[in-house]
Protein backbone atom coordinates (compact mmCIF):
# COMPACT_ATOMS: atom_id res chain seq x y z
CA UNK A 1 0.00 0.00 0.00
CA UNK A 2 1.41 3.46 -0.87
CA UNK A 3 1.83 5.76 2.13
CA UNK A 4 -1.19 7.89 3.01
CA UNK A 5 0.83 10.97 3.83
CA UNK A 6 1.54 12.98 0.69
CA UNK A 7 3.24 16.32 1.06
CA UNK A 8 3.50 18.73 -1.89
CA UNK A 9 4.62 21.75 0.10
CA UNK A 10 6.22 22.49 3.44
CA UNK A 11 3.73 22.39 6.32
CA UNK A 12 2.05 24.82 6.56
CA UNK A 13 1.95 25.51 2.83
CA UNK A 14 1.25 28.91 1.24
CA UNK A 15 -2.55 28.51 1.13
CA UNK A 16 -2.73 27.45 4.77
CA UNK A 17 -0.52 30.38 5.72
CA UNK A 18 -2.72 32.79 3.77
CA UNK A 19 -5.88 31.61 5.58
CA UNK A 20 -4.13 31.78 8.92
CA UNK A 21 -3.14 35.38 8.16
CA UNK A 22 -6.82 36.21 7.46
CA UNK A 23 -7.81 34.34 10.61
CA UNK A 24 -5.44 36.48 12.70
CA UNK A 25 -7.24 39.62 11.48
CA UNK A 26 -10.74 38.22 12.05
CA UNK A 27 -10.63 35.86 15.04
CA UNK A 28 -9.27 36.64 18.53
CA UNK A 29 -5.99 34.95 19.46
CA UNK A 30 -7.67 33.46 22.57
CA UNK A 31 -8.98 30.69 20.32
CA UNK A 32 -5.74 28.73 19.99
CA UNK A 33 -4.13 27.57 16.77
CA UNK A 34 -2.91 24.11 17.68
CA UNK A 35 -1.78 23.31 14.12
CA UNK A 36 -1.22 25.98 11.46
CA UNK A 37 -2.99 24.06 8.69
CA UNK A 38 -6.21 24.92 6.86
CA UNK A 39 -8.31 21.81 6.18
CA UNK A 40 -10.47 21.51 3.07
CA UNK A 41 -11.44 17.84 3.33
CA UNK A 42 -11.34 15.00 5.85
CA UNK A 43 -12.06 11.32 5.36
CA UNK A 44 -11.48 8.49 7.83
CA UNK A 45 -8.17 9.34 9.52
CA UNK A 46 -6.86 11.56 6.71
CA UNK A 47 -6.93 15.34 6.43
CA UNK A 48 -6.38 17.19 3.17
CA UNK A 49 -5.14 20.74 3.56
CA UNK A 50 -5.62 23.78 1.36
CA UNK A 51 -2.32 23.04 -0.42
CA UNK A 52 -3.37 19.51 -1.34
CA UNK A 53 -1.21 17.84 1.31
CA UNK A 54 -2.60 14.67 2.89
CA UNK A 55 -1.93 14.27 6.60
CA UNK A 56 -2.74 11.53 9.11
CA UNK A 57 -4.95 12.72 11.92
CA UNK A 58 -4.02 11.36 15.36
CA UNK A 59 -6.03 14.14 17.02
CA UNK A 60 -9.49 13.26 15.70
CA UNK A 61 -10.79 16.79 16.24
CA UNK A 62 -9.93 16.29 19.96
CA UNK A 63 -11.66 12.97 20.32
CA UNK A 64 -14.75 13.80 18.26
CA UNK A 65 -14.38 11.41 15.35
CA UNK A 66 -13.92 7.98 16.91
CA UNK A 67 -15.94 6.70 13.93
CA UNK A 68 -13.64 8.58 11.52
CA UNK A 69 -14.20 11.74 9.51
CA UNK A 70 -17.29 11.52 7.30
CA UNK A 71 -18.28 8.04 8.36
CA UNK A 72 -20.56 6.95 5.48
CA UNK A 73 -23.40 6.02 7.85
CA UNK A 74 -23.21 9.41 9.55
CA UNK A 75 -23.10 11.32 6.24
CA UNK A 76 -26.11 9.41 4.92
CA UNK A 77 -28.15 9.82 8.12
CA UNK A 78 -27.54 13.58 8.19
CA UNK A 79 -28.44 13.90 4.50
CA UNK A 80 -31.69 12.02 5.00
CA UNK A 81 -32.65 14.08 8.03
CA UNK A 82 -31.85 17.30 6.16
CA UNK A 83 -34.38 16.30 3.52
CA UNK A 84 -37.04 16.48 6.25
CA UNK A 85 -36.12 19.34 8.60
CA UNK A 86 -33.08 20.86 10.29
CA UNK A 87 -34.70 22.43 13.35
CA UNK A 88 -38.03 22.77 15.10
CA UNK A 89 -36.77 23.05 18.72
CA UNK A 90 -37.43 19.94 20.79
CA UNK A 91 -39.14 21.72 23.70
CA UNK A 92 -41.59 23.11 21.10
CA UNK A 93 -42.20 20.03 18.90
CA UNK A 94 -41.21 16.41 19.47
CA UNK A 95 -39.34 14.43 16.81
CA UNK A 96 -38.34 10.80 16.70
CA UNK A 97 -34.52 10.96 16.26
CA UNK A 98 -34.26 12.74 19.65
CA UNK A 99 -36.52 10.24 21.42
CA UNK A 100 -34.86 7.25 19.77
CA UNK A 101 -31.38 8.48 20.66
CA UNK A 102 -32.45 8.98 24.29
CA UNK A 103 -33.81 5.42 24.30
CA UNK A 104 -30.56 4.10 22.83
CA UNK A 105 -28.35 5.93 25.32
CA UNK A 106 -30.54 4.72 28.17
CA UNK A 107 -29.96 1.21 26.82
CA UNK A 108 -26.21 1.27 26.17
CA UNK A 109 -24.99 3.20 29.21
CA UNK A 110 -24.04 1.15 32.29
CA UNK A 111 -26.83 -0.18 34.52
CA UNK A 112 -30.16 -1.81 33.75
CA UNK A 113 -32.18 0.58 35.94
CA UNK A 114 -34.68 3.07 34.53
CA UNK A 115 -32.90 6.03 32.97
CA UNK A 116 -33.63 9.30 31.20
CA UNK A 117 -31.48 11.29 28.74
CA UNK A 118 -31.69 14.82 27.46
CA UNK A 119 -29.53 16.69 24.98
CA UNK A 120 -27.56 19.92 24.89
CA UNK A 121 -24.92 21.33 22.54
CA UNK A 122 -21.52 20.94 24.13
CA UNK A 123 -19.66 18.98 26.77
CA UNK A 124 -19.52 21.98 29.10
CA UNK A 125 -23.27 22.43 28.82
CA UNK A 126 -23.81 18.75 29.68
CA UNK A 127 -21.62 19.09 32.78
CA UNK A 128 -23.47 22.27 33.83
CA UNK A 129 -26.76 20.42 33.53
CA UNK A 130 -25.59 17.28 35.33
CA UNK A 131 -24.53 19.43 38.29
CA UNK A 132 -27.77 21.42 38.14
CA UNK A 133 -29.83 18.19 38.26
CA UNK A 134 -27.70 16.68 41.06
CA UNK A 135 -28.18 19.84 43.14
CA UNK A 136 -31.90 19.85 42.56
CA UNK A 137 -32.30 16.16 43.42
CA UNK A 138 -30.15 16.19 46.58
CA UNK A 139 -31.03 19.68 47.77
CA UNK A 140 -27.27 20.10 48.37
CA UNK A 141 -24.94 22.66 46.82
CA UNK A 142 -21.33 21.47 46.96
CA UNK A 143 -19.65 19.69 44.07
CA UNK A 144 -16.40 17.78 44.39
CA UNK A 145 -14.02 17.56 41.45
CA UNK A 146 -10.42 16.49 40.92
CA UNK A 147 -7.00 17.99 40.51
CA UNK A 148 -5.96 17.72 36.84
CA UNK A 149 -9.62 17.46 35.79
CA UNK A 150 -11.09 19.29 32.80
CA UNK A 151 -14.81 19.84 32.35
CA UNK A 152 -15.14 22.86 30.03
CA UNK A 153 -14.90 26.60 29.63
CA UNK A 154 -18.21 27.99 30.94
CA UNK A 155 -18.25 29.63 34.36
CA UNK A 156 -19.16 26.55 36.41
CA UNK A 157 -17.04 24.19 34.31
CA UNK A 158 -14.03 26.53 34.55
CA UNK A 159 -14.44 26.30 38.30
CA UNK A 160 -14.51 22.50 38.03
CA UNK A 161 -11.43 22.52 35.80
CA UNK A 162 -8.05 22.24 37.44
CA UNK A 163 -5.61 23.62 34.87
CA UNK A 164 -5.10 27.33 35.51
CA UNK A 165 -3.21 28.33 32.35
CA UNK A 166 -4.85 28.78 29.86
CA UNK A 167 -8.32 27.83 31.10
CA UNK A 168 -8.79 29.94 34.24
CA UNK A 169 -6.14 32.64 34.52
CA UNK A 170 -7.78 36.07 34.56
CA UNK A 171 -11.30 34.71 34.05
CA UNK A 172 -12.56 34.71 37.66
CA UNK A 173 -14.58 35.00 39.81
CA UNK A 174 -15.50 31.34 39.56
CA UNK A 175 -18.67 29.56 40.59
CA UNK A 176 -18.83 28.83 44.33
CA UNK A 177 -19.24 25.54 46.20
CA UNK A 178 -16.67 23.69 44.10
CA UNK A 179 -14.14 21.59 46.03
CA UNK A 180 -11.12 19.85 44.57
CA UNK A 181 -9.46 16.67 45.81
CA UNK A 182 -6.32 14.86 44.57
CA UNK A 183 -6.64 12.64 41.52
CA UNK A 184 -4.90 9.26 41.88
CA UNK A 185 -2.13 10.16 39.41
CA UNK A 186 0.18 7.31 40.37
CA UNK A 187 3.16 8.41 38.23
CA UNK A 188 3.25 11.69 40.14
CA UNK A 189 1.99 10.48 43.51
CA UNK A 190 3.52 12.56 46.31
CA UNK A 191 3.83 9.42 48.43
CA UNK A 192 6.29 7.85 45.97
CA UNK A 193 6.26 4.26 44.72
CA UNK A 194 3.85 2.05 46.65
CA UNK A 195 4.32 -1.27 44.92
CA UNK A 196 1.56 -0.74 42.42
CA UNK A 197 -1.24 -0.12 44.92
CA UNK A 198 -3.06 3.19 44.99
CA UNK A 199 -2.28 4.92 48.25
CA UNK A 200 -5.39 7.11 48.06
CA UNK A 201 -7.61 4.05 47.78
CA UNK A 202 -8.85 3.53 51.29
CA UNK A 203 -11.86 4.85 53.08
CA UNK A 204 -9.75 6.41 55.88
CA UNK A 205 -7.66 8.47 53.45
CA UNK A 206 -10.79 9.65 51.68
CA UNK A 207 -12.47 10.56 55.01
CA UNK A 208 -9.35 12.58 55.92
CA UNK A 209 -9.36 14.34 52.55
CA UNK A 210 -12.97 15.37 53.01
CA UNK A 211 -12.35 16.36 56.65
CA UNK A 212 -10.10 19.15 55.39
CA UNK A 213 -12.12 19.99 52.27
CA UNK A 214 -15.91 19.87 52.63
CA UNK A 215 -18.62 18.22 54.70
CA UNK A 216 -19.71 15.14 52.68
CA UNK A 217 -23.26 15.79 53.92
CA UNK A 218 -23.39 19.02 51.90
CA UNK A 219 -22.05 17.47 48.68
CA UNK A 220 -24.51 16.96 45.83
CA UNK A 221 -22.11 15.20 43.47
CA UNK A 222 -18.59 14.08 42.76
CA UNK A 223 -17.66 14.54 39.11
CA UNK A 224 -14.85 12.45 37.69
CA UNK A 225 -13.13 11.56 34.46
CA UNK A 226 -12.17 7.91 34.91
CA UNK A 227 -9.22 8.59 32.63
CA UNK A 228 -8.17 12.22 32.66
CA UNK A 229 -8.46 13.74 29.19
CA UNK A 230 -6.95 17.23 29.08
CA UNK A 231 -5.19 16.32 32.35
CA UNK A 232 -2.85 13.91 30.57
CA UNK A 233 -4.59 10.58 29.92
CA UNK A 234 -4.23 9.22 33.44
CA UNK A 235 -6.57 6.32 34.20
CA UNK A 236 -7.77 6.11 37.79
CA UNK A 237 -6.86 2.83 39.52
CA UNK A 238 -9.82 0.46 39.85
CA UNK A 239 -9.38 0.19 43.63
CA UNK A 240 -9.60 3.97 43.99
CA UNK A 241 -12.84 4.17 42.04
CA UNK A 242 -14.28 1.35 44.13
CA UNK A 243 -13.46 3.18 47.38
CA UNK A 244 -14.77 6.47 46.05
CA UNK A 245 -18.02 4.86 44.95
CA UNK A 246 -18.56 3.28 48.37
CA UNK A 247 -17.79 6.60 50.05
CA UNK A 248 -20.24 8.46 47.81
CA UNK A 249 -23.00 5.90 48.39
CA UNK A 250 -22.44 6.03 52.19
CA UNK A 251 -22.85 9.80 52.16
CA UNK A 252 -25.75 10.14 49.71
CA UNK A 253 -23.48 11.82 47.14
CA UNK A 254 -24.27 11.31 43.45
CA UNK A 255 -21.49 10.19 41.12
CA UNK A 256 -21.24 11.93 37.77
CA UNK A 257 -19.00 10.13 35.26
CA UNK A 258 -17.73 12.65 32.72
CA UNK A 259 -17.34 10.39 29.67
CA UNK A 260 -17.05 13.25 27.22
CA UNK A 261 -13.54 12.28 26.11
CA UNK A 262 -13.48 8.63 27.28
CA UNK A 263 -16.79 7.65 25.69
CA UNK A 264 -17.86 5.86 22.52
CA UNK A 265 -15.26 3.15 22.30
CA UNK A 266 -12.15 5.21 22.98
CA UNK A 267 -10.97 3.16 25.95
CA UNK A 268 -11.71 -0.24 24.39
CA UNK A 269 -15.20 -0.36 25.89
CA UNK A 270 -18.19 1.73 24.90
CA UNK A 271 -17.71 3.68 28.15
CA UNK A 272 -14.74 3.84 30.53
CA UNK A 273 -17.13 3.06 33.44
CA UNK A 274 -17.24 -0.52 32.14
CA UNK A 275 -13.56 -1.02 33.05
CA UNK A 276 -14.50 -0.25 36.65
CA UNK A 277 -17.86 -1.99 36.96
CA UNK A 278 -19.12 1.49 37.78
CA UNK A 279 -22.78 2.38 37.35
CA UNK A 280 -22.78 6.16 37.78
CA UNK A 281 -25.87 8.08 38.86
CA UNK A 282 -25.35 10.53 36.01
CA UNK A 283 -23.17 10.44 32.92
CA UNK A 284 -22.15 13.23 30.57
CA UNK A 285 -21.27 12.48 26.96
CA UNK A 286 -20.41 14.65 23.93
CA UNK A 287 -17.52 14.67 21.41
CA UNK A 288 -17.71 11.33 19.52
CA UNK A 289 -21.43 10.95 20.34
CA UNK A 290 -22.44 12.51 17.03
CA UNK A 291 -19.42 11.77 14.83
CA UNK A 292 -18.54 15.42 14.19
CA UNK A 293 -21.82 17.22 14.78
CA UNK A 294 -22.26 19.25 17.96
CA UNK A 295 -24.26 17.24 20.49
CA UNK A 296 -23.96 16.38 24.17
CA UNK A 297 -26.09 14.39 26.56
CA UNK A 298 -26.87 13.91 30.21
CA UNK A 299 -28.01 10.36 30.97
CA UNK A 300 -28.97 9.28 34.45
CA UNK A 301 -31.14 7.50 36.95
CA UNK A 302 -34.77 8.19 36.14
CA UNK A 303 -35.59 9.33 39.69
CA UNK A 304 -32.71 11.84 39.63
CA UNK A 305 -33.37 13.09 36.10
CA UNK A 306 -37.11 13.50 36.72
CA UNK A 307 -36.55 15.70 39.79
CA UNK A 308 -36.34 19.14 38.14
CA UNK A 309 -39.70 20.79 37.35
CA UNK A 310 -41.13 21.21 33.85
CA UNK A 311 -39.20 23.90 31.99
CA UNK A 312 -36.16 23.58 34.26
CA UNK A 313 -34.14 21.84 31.56
CA UNK A 314 -33.79 22.47 27.83
CA UNK A 315 -32.45 24.99 25.33
CA UNK A 316 -33.03 26.16 21.76
CA UNK A 317 -30.66 23.88 19.88
CA UNK A 318 -30.15 20.95 22.28
CA UNK A 319 -30.77 17.67 20.46
CA UNK A 320 -30.70 19.20 17.00
CA UNK A 321 -32.28 16.66 14.60
CA UNK A 322 -29.24 16.48 12.30
CA UNK A 323 -26.99 15.80 15.28
CA UNK A 324 -29.39 13.17 16.69
CA UNK A 325 -29.54 11.41 13.31
CA UNK A 326 -25.72 11.44 13.20
CA UNK A 327 -25.50 10.04 16.73
CA UNK A 328 -27.89 7.20 15.92
CA UNK A 329 -25.60 6.32 13.00
CA UNK A 330 -22.59 6.45 15.35
CA UNK A 331 -24.24 3.99 17.75
CA UNK A 332 -25.11 1.68 14.86
CA UNK A 333 -21.47 1.80 13.69
CA UNK A 334 -20.19 1.15 17.23
CA UNK A 335 -22.14 -2.12 17.30
CA UNK A 336 -21.90 -3.21 13.65
CA UNK A 337 -18.18 -2.48 13.30
CA UNK A 338 -17.25 -3.64 16.83
CA UNK A 339 -15.45 -0.34 17.32
CA UNK A 340 -14.70 -0.71 21.06
CA UNK A 341 -13.04 -4.11 20.47
CA UNK A 342 -11.05 -2.62 17.64
CA UNK A 343 -9.95 0.23 19.95
CA UNK A 344 -8.75 -2.35 22.44
CA UNK A 345 -6.58 -4.06 19.79
CA UNK A 346 -5.27 -0.85 18.26
CA UNK A 347 -4.52 0.53 21.72
CA UNK A 348 -2.50 -2.56 22.60
CA UNK A 349 -0.45 -2.20 19.43
CA UNK A 350 0.21 1.49 20.08
CA UNK A 351 1.11 0.87 23.71
CA UNK A 352 3.51 -1.97 22.79
CA UNK A 353 5.28 0.38 20.37
CA UNK A 354 5.43 3.15 22.98
CA UNK A 355 6.93 0.72 25.52
CA UNK A 356 9.61 -0.24 22.98
CA UNK A 357 10.42 3.43 22.47
CA UNK A 358 10.60 3.93 26.25
CA UNK A 359 13.58 1.51 26.31
CA UNK A 360 15.40 3.76 23.85
CA UNK A 361 14.16 7.28 24.55
CA UNK A 362 14.88 8.35 28.09
CA UNK A 363 12.63 11.37 27.75
CA UNK A 364 9.65 9.00 28.00
CA UNK A 365 8.75 8.99 31.67
CA UNK A 366 5.48 7.09 31.46
CA UNK A 367 3.37 5.15 28.96
CA UNK A 368 -0.26 4.72 29.92
CA UNK A 369 -3.92 4.65 29.01
CA UNK A 370 -6.96 2.44 28.57
CA UNK A 371 -7.65 1.00 25.12
CA UNK A 372 -6.81 3.49 22.41
CA UNK A 373 -6.74 6.45 24.84
CA UNK A 374 -2.96 6.19 25.06
CA UNK A 375 -0.25 8.69 25.91
CA UNK A 376 3.43 9.28 26.48
CA UNK A 377 4.51 11.58 29.30
CA UNK A 378 7.78 13.36 28.49
CA UNK A 379 10.26 14.40 31.18
CA UNK A 380 13.70 16.02 31.25
CA UNK A 381 14.98 13.00 33.22
CA UNK A 382 13.40 9.99 34.79
CA UNK A 383 14.75 10.62 38.29
CA UNK A 384 13.30 14.10 38.78
CA UNK A 385 10.31 13.52 36.44
CA UNK A 386 10.50 17.22 35.54
CA UNK A 387 7.82 17.76 32.87
CA UNK A 388 9.35 18.58 29.47
CA UNK A 389 6.79 20.84 27.85
CA UNK A 390 9.33 22.34 25.43
CA UNK A 391 10.31 18.93 24.11
CA UNK A 392 6.64 18.00 23.73
CA UNK A 393 6.11 21.11 21.60
CA UNK A 394 9.13 20.25 19.44
CA UNK A 395 7.92 16.68 18.98
CA UNK A 396 4.46 17.83 17.87
CA UNK A 397 6.03 20.30 15.43
CA UNK A 398 8.38 17.63 14.04
CA UNK A 399 5.45 15.24 13.57
CA UNK A 400 3.38 17.88 11.79
CA UNK A 401 6.26 18.77 9.46
CA UNK A 402 6.23 15.09 8.46
CA UNK A 403 2.46 14.98 7.96
CA UNK A 404 1.10 13.75 11.30
CA UNK A 405 -1.32 15.74 13.46
CA UNK A 406 -0.66 14.98 17.13
CA UNK A 407 -1.99 16.67 20.26
CA UNK A 408 -0.53 17.30 23.68
CA UNK A 409 -2.33 17.36 27.00
CA UNK A 410 -1.57 17.36 30.71
CA UNK A 411 -1.54 20.00 33.39
CA UNK A 412 2.15 20.53 32.60
CA UNK A 413 1.68 20.32 28.82
CA UNK A 414 4.13 17.40 28.57
CA UNK A 415 1.90 14.52 27.52
CA UNK A 416 1.51 13.40 23.92
CA UNK A 417 -1.90 11.82 23.46
CA UNK A 418 -3.32 9.70 20.68
CA UNK A 419 -6.94 10.26 19.67
CA UNK A 420 -6.76 8.67 16.22
CA UNK A 421 -10.10 7.65 14.69
CA UNK A 422 -10.90 4.13 15.90
CA UNK A 423 -11.85 3.11 12.39
CA UNK A 424 -8.30 3.78 11.09
CA UNK A 425 -6.76 0.76 9.40
CA UNK A 426 -3.72 -1.01 10.85
CA UNK A 427 -1.66 0.42 7.95
CA UNK A 428 -2.64 4.00 8.76
CA UNK A 429 -1.91 3.51 12.46
CA UNK A 430 1.48 1.98 11.61
CA UNK A 431 2.32 4.82 9.26
CA UNK A 432 1.37 7.37 11.92
CA UNK A 433 3.52 5.59 14.51
CA UNK A 434 6.41 5.47 12.04
CA UNK A 435 6.19 9.24 11.68
CA UNK A 436 5.96 9.68 15.44
CA UNK A 437 9.14 7.63 15.85
CA UNK A 438 10.94 9.64 13.16
CA UNK A 439 9.83 12.84 14.90
CA UNK A 440 11.10 11.53 18.25
CA UNK A 441 14.46 10.68 16.65
CA UNK A 442 14.58 14.14 15.12
CA UNK A 443 14.11 15.88 18.46
CA UNK A 444 16.04 13.59 20.80
CA UNK A 445 18.50 11.83 18.47
CA UNK A 446 18.47 8.17 17.45
CA UNK A 447 20.04 7.02 20.70
CA UNK A 448 17.55 8.89 22.82
CA UNK A 449 19.68 11.80 23.99
CA UNK A 450 17.95 15.18 23.63
CA UNK A 451 19.42 17.20 20.75
C1 LIG B 1 -13.77 15.33 29.95
C2 LIG B 1 -14.30 16.57 29.30
N3 LIG B 1 -15.36 17.20 29.83
C4 LIG B 1 -15.87 18.29 29.27
C5 LIG B 1 -15.32 18.84 28.12
C6 LIG B 1 -15.92 20.08 27.52
O7 LIG B 1 -16.52 19.77 26.30
P8 LIG B 1 -16.84 20.94 25.23
O9 LIG B 1 -15.53 21.42 24.71
O10 LIG B 1 -17.69 20.26 24.21
O11 LIG B 1 -17.60 21.98 25.99
C12 LIG B 1 -14.22 18.22 27.54
C13 LIG B 1 -13.58 18.79 26.33
O14 LIG B 1 -12.45 18.55 26.02
C15 LIG B 1 -13.69 17.06 28.14
O16 LIG B 1 -12.63 16.43 27.62
What digits encode the pLDDT tens for the residues 33-63? 999 999 999 999 999 999 999 999 999 999 9
Residue nearest to atom 3 of ligand 1 (CA): 151
Exposed/middle/buried for residue 451 (C-beta within 10 Å: 0-12, 13-18, 19+): exposed
What's the CA gap between 371 and 350, in Å, rounded?
9
- Please check the confidence at residue 5 and state whether its pLDDT lies above 50: yes
Instruction: Tell how far the Cα of 262 is from the centroid of ligand 1, in angstroms.
Output: 10
Position in ligand 1 atom list of the atom nearest CA 229: 16
**CB of 54 closer than 8 Å to CB of 17:** no
Closest CA to 125 of 313, 310, 348, 407: 313
Q: Which one-letter DSSP state was computed for residue 6?
A: B
pLDDT at 447: 64
Residue 12: cis peptide before it, omega within 30 degrees of 0: yes
Which atom of ligand 1 has the smallest separation from the CA of 294? 10
Per-residue pLDDT band for 451 (boundaries 50, 70, 90) equals very low
Q: How many A from CA of 124 to the centre of ligand 1?
A: 6
Distance 261 CA to ligand 1 centre (A): 7
- CA 122 to chain CA centroid, Å, is 12
Structure-derived torsion over alpha carbons of residues 313, 318, 324, 327, reported in degrees to the nearest 10: -90
Question: How many A from CA of 368 to the centre of ligand 1?
Answer: 21
Predicted local distance difference test score (pLDDT) of residue 450: 52
Taking the C-alpha atoms of residue 63 and residue 369, their distance in angstroms, rounded to an integer, is 14
DSSP 8-state class, residue 446: T
pLDDT at site 433: 98
SS3 49: strand
260 Cα to the center of ligand 1, angstroms: 6
Band of residue 1 on the pLDDT scale cut at 50, 70, 90: confident
Q: How far apart are CA 411 and CA 229, in angstroms?
A: 10
Burial class (CB within 10 angstroms; exposed 0-12, middle 13-18, buried 19+) of 432:
buried
Cα–Cα dist 81/74, whole Å? 11
Instruction: Find the mean pLDDT for residues 369-393.
Output: 97
Best of 31, 229, 235, 407 for a ligand 1 pocket test (most atoms within 8 Å of beta carbon): 229
Q: What is the mean pLDDT of residues 196-223?
A: 93
d(CA 386, CA 412): 9
Residue 190 confidence (pLDDT) above 80? no
Contact present, 235 and 371 (Cβ < 8 Å): no
Report pTM.
Answer: 0.97
Nearest one of 107, 103, 111, 67 to 274, comparing CA atoms: 111
- Contact call for residues 284 and 127 (beta carbons, < 8 A): yes
pLDDT tens digits along 283-310: 999 999 999 999 999 999 999 999 999 9
Kindly report, residue by residue over 413-425, the tens digit of the pLDDT: 999 999 999 999 9
Nearest to 68 by CA among 99, 103, 104, 44: 44
Residue closest via CA to ligand 1's atom 8 equals 123
Question: By alpha-carbon position, which residue is closest to atom 7 of ligand 1?
Answer: 123
- pLDDT computed for residue 448 by the predictor: 67
Q: Say whether 441 sits in a helix, a strand or coil.
A: helix
The pocket around ligand 1, CB under 6 angstroms, is made up of 62, 122-124, 127, 150-152, 225, 229-230, 258, 260-261, 286
Distance CA 92, CA 425 (A): 43
| Chain mean pLDDT for the chain | 96
Amino acid sequence: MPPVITLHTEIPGPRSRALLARRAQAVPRGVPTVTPIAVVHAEGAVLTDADGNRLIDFGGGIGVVNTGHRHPGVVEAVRQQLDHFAHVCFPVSTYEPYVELAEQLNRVTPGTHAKRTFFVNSGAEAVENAVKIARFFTGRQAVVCFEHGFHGRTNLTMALTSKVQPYKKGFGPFAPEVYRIPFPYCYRCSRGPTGGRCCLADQGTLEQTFASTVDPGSVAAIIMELELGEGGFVPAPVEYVRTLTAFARDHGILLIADEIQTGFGRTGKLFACEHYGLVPDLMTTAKSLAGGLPLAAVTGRADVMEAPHIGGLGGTYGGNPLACAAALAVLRAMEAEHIPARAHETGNRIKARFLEWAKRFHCIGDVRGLGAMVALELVTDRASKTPDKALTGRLLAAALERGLVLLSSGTFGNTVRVLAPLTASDEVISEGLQVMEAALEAVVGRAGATV
